[in-house]
Amino acid sequence: MSEILVDVKNLSKEYKRGGETLVVLDNLNLEIPKQDYLALMGPSGSGKSTLLNLIGGLDTPSNGSVSINGERIDKMNSRQLSNWRASNVGFIFQFYNLLPVLSAQKNIELPLLLTKLSSSQRKKHVETALSIVGLSDRASHKPNELSGGQQQRVAIARALVSDPDILVCDEPTGDLDRDTATEILNLLKSLNEDHGKTILMVTHDPAAAESAKRSLHLDKGKLIA
Amino acid sequence: MYWILVKAGVFRKKVRSLLTTFSVIVAFFLYGLLHSADPLFNGAVGEINAERMIMMPKHDMMFGRIPQSHINYLESIDSVTDIAWIDMLSMDINSMMENIPIFAISDDYFEVMDRFKASADEKEAFFSNRTGALVGKAAADIKGWKTGDLISIPTFSAKNDGTNVWEFYVEGIYTTSPAADELGIMVRHEYVEEARANNKGTVSMIIFNLDDPTKADQISNIIDNNFKNSAYATFTGNEITLSQKMLSDIGNIKLIITSIISAVFFTLLLVTANTMSQSVRERTSDIAILKSLGYKDIQIFISILLESNFIILIGAAFGLGFTVMTVPLIDQASGGLTGGLIVFDIFQVLRGILIGVLMASLAGILPAYQAYKLKVVDALAKG
């Protein structure tokens, strides 16, 4: 059996809303092996994104534990989580979220500015990431000069550039047409199969879920399949 | 790292950043111009002498009068030496601006007020002609007067013949520093006193020296106390004290200038703070993304403060730079009237930069704190 990368145990997340407690994740257990490609599906409000945020170190649980590569990220403070995110996880969002003023190259370089890499080393990393996503010829283009699919590729390159173990994708094809979505899904598949990246993807799209190695369904904060 | 973040913020809305920077430029230019006139209000005027004493009417220093008999009292004080006097023929402010003020001077005026210069020949010609005049160089340049001209100046001082237009022959040109003091006509008090119908026996001010300048305060107090309860109370002091007192009679100009500058900067502070706040609100998702990439809250906080500093300091640099370039041009365009007294030196530039840093920090601190506190999950959920 493959080594476990993500180990979620008895995970709960609750929010207080006007005196009421809203349970978003309810005593959830999940193991994700290294180099897995897991699609999380479920209706809106089922807790998919919350689970993604907890595994990505963007949020902290109410109860339970989240271990990534053996590290308890639920015990980390805000500063430690920032440091951890910078080198261990790459995020891919539905709306790309590129900084509009910066070129593709500079957007991809953003995570590397937090490292001690020299300018030339950063440039090499960026070039590699760009070539993986097939956008070497668009390095100097700004986001508004790129199509939606190309912007998402830049976002994927930005997630990849610091060589994280896990890629966390929140509806990565939600804003793309079918053909472009297929290209992005193929790219993610290639990252998983050829580059050994562990991918956790939230999606509503069954076609997208099919491209993953396996799918899990969430409903009312619990895993049902 | 920070430069990229600052760039990403500043250039996101170029027109807005440009307009904000432009308002900062205007504010600092105004600051520079108003402060460049500081020396005029500090008494640091050219060759004004801290040792030369002047006695003036306590009230209405500019147009008031004191009896010439006060001179007799001054002569009775042992320490007082070299007494001269001057009397301005009546004019109001508008006439002074339109015409040139006439100063009737005593014969030894040039000895006591040695910063007024005229050649020996000119002075000799002046003192040999009862209706002679020495005109200031700036006045001569403006009016086109030259030696030998007969000039006619309307005043509110009536002559014995019932007219109030005074005529004098220009016997020479005097110069002084500051050049603003060259905007005058010096005529002989002896003639004016005899020819005028009103205000006989009065003068505008009496000038004297002391054998020991350290006694200035003591002697001033003795003199002013002596006339304290008379109808012609006096204010005595050295030239610097007097020039400041005269300016304060017109109004507290420094306070007015400081108030204008404060209002400008306060408005600018609100404008910049609002711009920064709006900018941060619009970039909520950008900031959330940066945090998700591993940027720390404090790094985001610093980058917003730097962004605010960038906008204000660029504006301040241009504003202060324009001031540095403009002040000499104003000085030159004044035809020497400002006499090099309008200056904008390195200390004022540094003070401007310090104000800029302070304003930028104040304008940026709240938006920076908003960005610091921003929760990634909440921001991403809002899209």
Contact yes or no for B293 and A78 at CB 8 A: no
Terminal Cα-to-Cα distance of chain B (whole angstroms): 25
Query: What is the enclosing helix (H) or strand (E) of B88?
Result: strand B80-88
pLDDT for the residue numbered B382: 65
Contact B116, B240 (CB under 8 A): no
Closest-CA distance, A92 to chain B, in angstroms, reads: 10
Distance between CA atoms of A214 and B321, rounded to whole angstroms?
65
Q: Does A47 touch chain B (CB under 8 A)?
A: no
Contact yes or no for A158 and B291 at CB 8 A: no
Provide, as residue numbers in chain B, all residues whose Cβ is less than 8 Å from the Cβ of A91: 289, 292-293
Contact yes or no for B295 and A99 at CB 8 A: no
Cα separations in angstroms, A130 against A165, A194, B193, B317: 18, 16, 96, 39
Candidates A99, A107, A166: best to mutate against B (most CBs of B within 10 A) is A99
Q: Does A117 touch chain B (CB under 8 A)?
A: no
pLDDT for the residue numbered A10: 93
Instruction: Say how many C-beta atoms besides its own lie within 10 A of residue A205's C-beta.
Output: 19
pLDDT for the residue numbered B341: 65
Q: Please compute the mean of the pLDDT values over residues A121-136 and round it to a whole number.
A: 91
Tokens 């809203």, residue located: A22
The single-letter code of the amino acid at A41 is: M
DSSP three-state, residue B358 = helix
Provide, as residue numbers in chain B, all residues whose Cβ is less than 8 Å from the Cβ of A58: 292, 376-377, 380
Q: Please compute the mean of the pLDDT values over residues A195-202 and round it to a whole number.
A: 92
Contact yes or no for B294 and A91 at CB 8 A: no
pLDDT for the residue numbered A223: 86
Measured between CA atoms, the residue of chain B closest to residue A100 is B12
| pLDDT tens digits, A74-88 | 999 989 999 999 989
Tokens of residue B351, six digits:
């003070």
Contact B236, B53 (CB under 8 A): yes
Q: Does B165 touch chain A (CB under 8 A)?
A: no
Question: What secondary structure letter does DSSP report for B175?
Answer: B
- What's the CATH architecture for A4-97+165-224? 3-Layer(aba) Sandwich (3.40)
Q: Does B158 touch chain A (CB under 8 A)?
A: no
pLDDT for the residue numbered B334: 64
pLDDT for the residue numbered A207: 86
**Whole-structure pTM value:** 0.71
**Domain locations along chain A:** 4-97+165-224
For CA atoms A74, A79, A80, A85, give the dihedral sign: positive
Tokens of residue B154, six digits:
């309307």
Distance between CA atoms of A13 and B30, rounded to whole angstroms?
57
pLDDT for the residue numbered B249: 63
Contact B171, B129 (CB under 8 A): yes
Terminal Cα-to-Cα distance of chain A (whole angstroms): 20
Tokens 């990246």, residue located: A197
Measured between CA atoms, the residue of chain A closest to residue B7 is A101
| pLDDT tens digits, A76-126 | 998 999 999 998 999 998 888 899 889 999 999 999 999 889 999 999 999
| pLDDT tens digits, B216-273 | 888 889 999 998 888 888 989 887 777 766 666 666 677 788 888 888 888 888 888 8
Distance between CA atoms of A179 and B136, rounded to whole angstroms?
89
pLDDT for the residue numbered B262: 87
Tokens 């040139």, residue located: B100
Distance between CA atoms of B168 and A127, rounded to whole angstroms?
88
Residues of chain B with pLDDT under 70: 39-50, 61-62, 92-97, 177-180, 244-252, 334-341, 382-383
Read off φ and ψ for residue B34, nearest 5 degrees.
Answer: -65, -40
Summary mean pLDDT of chain A: 90
Cα separations in angstroms, B286 against A54, A58, B90, B105: 20, 15, 71, 76
Measured between CA atoms, the residue of chain B closest to residue A77 is B296
Contact yes or no for A114 and B294 at CB 8 A: yes
- Facing residues of A214 across strands? A38
pLDDT for the residue numbered B316: 92
Q: Is the pLDDT of residue A142 over 90?
A: yes
Provide, as residue numbers in chain B, all residues whose Cβ is less than 8 Å from the Cβ of A95: 285, 383
Contact A9, A64 (CB under 8 A): yes
Q: Does A102 touch chain B (CB under 8 A)?
A: yes
Q: Does B15 touch chain A (CB under 8 A)?
A: no
